[in-house]
Amino acid sequence: MPGDDPGRPPRQLPADVRGFVNREAELRALDAILGDSGATPPLAGVHVLAGTAGVGKTSLAVHWAHRVREHFPDGQLCINLRGYDPGPPLRPADVLDRFLRALDVPAAAVPADPEDRAALYRSMLADRRMLILLDNASSTRQVRPLLPGAPRCLVIVTSRSRLSGLVARDGARRLTVDLLPEPDAVSLLRTLTAGYRLDDDSPDYAELARLCARLPLALRIAAERAASRPHMPLADLIRDLRDESALWDALTAEDQDEADAVRTVFAWSYRALDEGAARLFRLLGLHPGAEFGPEAAAALAGVPITTARQRLDLLVGAHLIEQTEADRYQFHDLLRAYAADQCQEEPPAERDAALRRVLEWYLHTVDAAERLAGGLDLRVPLDRPAEPVPAPPFGDRSAAVRWERRERGTLLAAVRAAAGDPRTYDLAWLLAAVLRGFHMRENVLEDWFAAATLGLHAATALGDRRAEAELYDSLGVAHVHAHRLHDALACHTKALSRRRDLGDRLAHAVSLNALGLTALRARQLDAAVAHFADGIEIFGSLGERVWEATARANLGTAQYELGTLDDADASVRQALDTLRAAGDAQGEGNALRLLSAIHRAQGRIDDALTAGLAAVNLAAAHGNAHWQGYWLIELGAAQAAAGEHGDALGSYQHAATLHRRAGDRGREGIALIGAADTYHLMGRYGDAIRMYRGALAVLRTTGDAWQLARALDGLATALDATGEPERAGTARRQALDHLAAFTDPEARRRRDRISGR
């Protein structure tokens, strides 16, 4: 199973709340629930903390989670579901994707189907004791797919809703978090102002608590204001607060008095800021994502990073934003809504300019990350931004990859924001285009399809045919990764048409190569040969020797699959010479892998072994496990053909392990088929059956019909050898079902053999 060999357990709980006081009754109730099971270690289950906005649900949940985390040694998962943010709440499928990655499931092994994700998540947690905090849930529907299937894990859910469905159907325990009693509210104010103020009267604290509606969020902001003015009598501060006029509508608090109190405290604290900090607070209401760093804040405000940091510190000190870690900030959802409302004070031109600045910063920062992370060979050229943008917050490849992963949600939100305004359509398609490399490496297909589709709509609205071609090309590759080859061919055909019409011959040839690769995957081999040949002609006329050699090697693959081995040998040898001379190690190794396969098919087994070993050694010399895993599969085939069965099994099993670690389920399955075929050659039919079934389990997650047919065909033959004709017949029928989509010569031969014709 993916993630069977986990590294360090996830520790995602935020820091405990500074100055947490009171809530003793609620904490005792929660402790009692956990202890009521009578089990050692205790059973956990699902607990809902429900209450109005700003009442302190998250603080209580985090504080209690820290108190009980020792009971859950396998780690903690924590996420803000954004159920009440101005933007869309997180979808359960996206949360499952993040949780599975945190549990060391490789990106490519995360199932595309939401139900399959939920099933894998439950399987991963079945034997673990973990603490899961789901903050700000909007509905039962948002939470239910995130629940583990066994009571060994503790799930804490916070929500403004009662989530009665979880209680009725899923056995959740609900605790309603009420307003603080007045003595507790006064105690919180005194704790937060301790050391800053002297000789304040208790009645004044009680009055301040009442003005804050005894809501912890408002109390903390008011306490910060009081602590920052130690010489101003508390009675004067109370008078200021009483006189404050709120200019914005009530938020989502159910009680109007509570909403009035919260908005009054927000306005009171906001108006105490200097103009620079107040302006940054307003403009942060435009930020498209849930979190942000100082560079994004600097871009929004159009100020140097040092200035942005100083102003962010002021906002943190005023409790108007939260600092979650070094250089990471976020809003409480109520405060974000307030900031967005206050941003309406800005002139429209300044709002538009600020949004454009931050979107341009994300665009150029992603582009810089892709240059370090090894992005696409055919890059989208970017114009210089209208205003200078802050430097990227990373300096090497690993830091760039970490930044992209951390900002994943914000980057998609940035595309959505850009696509939502005709004035930023140009940034929408560019952001979607430069994100393609990240989406491909991380195998985040939902983000990829969403961003590329939004970018395509923006490009179409602009009438920009070049941009349309870029996004159709991106969607074509995404469909290939999703094994939707018909859709991939359609997208690549549209990209090709636009590039041909534009007269961009290099891009035209690149589209021909992409079409050829997609046709090859679909086993439309004659079409693949034609596309590669046309691309080779254009690349050659442009002097693009490496591209020409790459397309020629791809042509050799199609010729090999068609059985025209001499043509394939000539194509791949010519490509190999060029790629080796150009220092293209990946291209050289892949050509050697192809030569090994061709030689094996020609019966030149020694030559096949030599080429296969050279490819694997090249991968090892470059320390590239992904290349090594792929090229080991062909070396294993050559070793099996040479009768070196032990070496072949070693190569296949090593390849399967490398691909499993990388999350490449397709190639892991191919390696397992190779191992099964080798066991079959050795007469070890039981081991062959076990390995074929393992391959099928892996390949069913990919939907690769051709490889599924290969595995089922082999399984049927092995079952025949062990005297299980009925099961063999079932496997044959399933293999024929998968082969029905293919019309190439090898598919016809395989169908005829399976059918007994």
What would the pLDDT profile of 218-233 be if each residue is shown by its tens digit? Answer: 888 888 888 888 888 8
Say if residue 134 is in the same domain as residue 150.
Answer: yes
Average pLDDT, the chain: 90
Q: What does the pLDDT look like over 514-566, one tens digit per residue? A: 999 999 999 999 999 999 999 999 999 999 999 999 999 999 999 999 999 99
pLDDT surpassing 50 at residue 376: no
Name the least confident of 22-36, 308-322, 369-383: 369-383
Q: What pLDDT does residue 257 have?
A: 56
Name the least confident of 222-231, 250-259, 478-487: 250-259
The residue to which tokens 């130690």 are assigned: 230
Residue 82 counted as domain residue? yes
Q: What pLDDT does residue 454 have?
A: 98
251: confidence class by pLDDT, cuts 50, 70, 90: very low
DSSP string, 670-719: HHHHHHHHHHHHTT-HHHHHHHHHHHHHHHTTTT-HHHHHHHHHHHHHHH
683: confidence class by pLDDT, cuts 50, 70, 90: very high
Q: What pLDDT does residue 642 have?
A: 97
Residue 591 counted as domain residue? no
Q: How far is CA 50 from the centre of its chain?
A: 29
Question: Residue 292: phi, psi to the nearest 5?
Answer: -155, 160
pLDDT surpassing 70 at residue 2: no
Say if residue 203 is in the same domain as residue 336.
Answer: no
730: confidence class by pLDDT, cuts 50, 70, 90: very high
Which of 346, 376, 404 is the endpoint of a domain? Answer: 346
Say if residue 256 is in the same domain as residue 216.
Answer: yes
Say if residue 290 is in the same domain as residue 195.
Answer: no
Which of 270, 305, 335 is the endpoint of a domain? Answer: 270
Which of 319, 346, 373 is the endpoint of a domain? Answer: 346
Question: Residue 77: phi, psi to the nearest 5?
Answer: -115, 135
Question: Residue 120: phi, psi to the nearest 5?
Answer: -65, -40
253: confidence class by pLDDT, cuts 50, 70, 90: very low
Residue 201 counted as domain residue? yes
Q: What pLDDT does residue 419 have?
A: 97
Q: What does the pLDDT look like over 503-512, one tens digit per residue? A: 999 999 999 9
Name the least confident of 167-181, 408-422, 700-714: 167-181
CA distances from 634 to 14, 564, 620, 664 (A): 47, 19, 15, 16
Q: What pLDDT does residue 43 have?
A: 59
Say if residue 33 is in the same domain as residue 156.
Answer: yes
List the domain range (segments joined by +) for residue 700: 669-757
Q: What pLDDT does residue 201 have?
A: 72
Residue 332 counted as domain residue? yes
The residue-averaged pLDDT of 19-30 equals 84
- Going by C-alpha positions, the residue among 738, 667, 736, 654 that lies closest to residue 698 is 667
Q: How far is CA 187 from the centre of its chain?
A: 43
36: confidence class by pLDDT, cuts 50, 70, 90: low
Residue 740 counted as domain residue? yes
Name the least confident of 102-116, 415-429, 559-573: 102-116
Residue 230 counted as domain residue? yes
d(CA 567, CA 556): 7
The residue-averaged pLDDT of 485-509 equals 96
CB atoms within 10 A of CB 595: 28
Structure-token pair, residue 201: 């009267």
Residue partners of 574: CB distance under 8 A and separation at least 6: 549, 552
Say if residue 260 is in the same domain as residue 285.
Answer: no
CA distances from 403 to 241, 298, 603 (A): 41, 17, 50
Q: What does the pLDDT look like over 581-633, one tens digit per residue? A: 999 999 999 999 999 999 999 999 999 999 999 999 999 999 889 899 999 99
Q: At 735, which CATH number? A: 1.25.40.10
Angle formed by the axes of helices 505-521 and 545-562, to 10°? 20
- For residues 62 and 14, the answer to whether their CB atoms sit within 8 Å is yes
Q: Is the dihedral of CA 746, 549, 430, 369 positive or negative?
A: positive
The residue-averaged pLDDT of 272-281 equals 94
Name the least confident of 178-182, 445-449, 650-654: 178-182
Looking at per-residue confidence, does 52 or 358 come out higher?
A: 358
Say if residue 28 is in the same domain as residue 164.
Answer: yes
Q: What does the pLDDT look like over 514-527, one tens digit per residue? A: 999 999 999 999 99
Q: What does the pLDDT look like over 144-162, one tens digit per residue? A: 999 998 778 999 999 988 8
Q: At 155, which CATH number? A: 3.40.50.300
Q: How far is CA 428 from the centre of its chain?
A: 19
Across-strand partners of 316? Answer: none
pLDDT surpassing 80 at residue 68: yes
CB atoms within 10 A of CB 740: 11
Looking at per-residue confidence, does 286 or 44 come out higher?
A: 286
DSSP string, 83-95: TTSSSPPPPHHHH
Q: What pLDDT does residue 41 have?
A: 54
% of the chain surpassing 70 pLDDT: 94
d(CA 462, CA 471): 13
- For residues 278 and 317, the answer to whether their CB atoms sit within 8 Å is no
Say if residue 34 is in the same domain as residue 147.
Answer: yes
Structural domains of the chain, count: 4
Q: What pLDDT does residue 470 have?
A: 96
Residue 638 counted as domain residue? no
Q: What does the pLDDT look like over 127-148, one tens digit per residue? A: 899 999 999 999 999 999 999 9
Say if residue 673 is in the same domain as residue 725.
Answer: yes
Say if residue 30 is in the same domain as residue 159.
Answer: yes
3-state secondary structure 534-556: HHHHHHHHHCCHHHHHHHHHHHH
Q: What pLDDT does residue 59 have?
A: 92
Say if residue 71 is in the same domain as residue 135.
Answer: yes
Say if residue 33 is in the same domain as residue 164.
Answer: yes
260: confidence class by pLDDT, cuts 50, 70, 90: low
